[in-house]
Structure 1
Amino acid sequence: MLCFYSTYVFYSWICFNKFTLVLIFYFSYKKVLD
């Protein structure tokens, strides 16, 4: 159970990082366009 939970946390952390990266790229892109 603990192993399953840590795997879930690991993958959600990766997804969260990808999401924040996309947001950062999006906002910097908007700043360049403005």
Structure 2
Amino acid sequence: MSEIGLAVPGRGPSARPVQSLHHPFIPPTPHD
């Protein structure tokens, strides 16, 4: 779950693992 945010610290909405709490599934966004 939160591993997604930690796995892509540079491809997250805010590049923060905390965001994983709000978004358990964050797809790799190349534009952000």
Larger Rg: 1
TM-score (normalizing by structure 2): 0.24
- Higher helix proportion: 1
Question: Structure 1-normalised TM-score?
Answer: 0.24
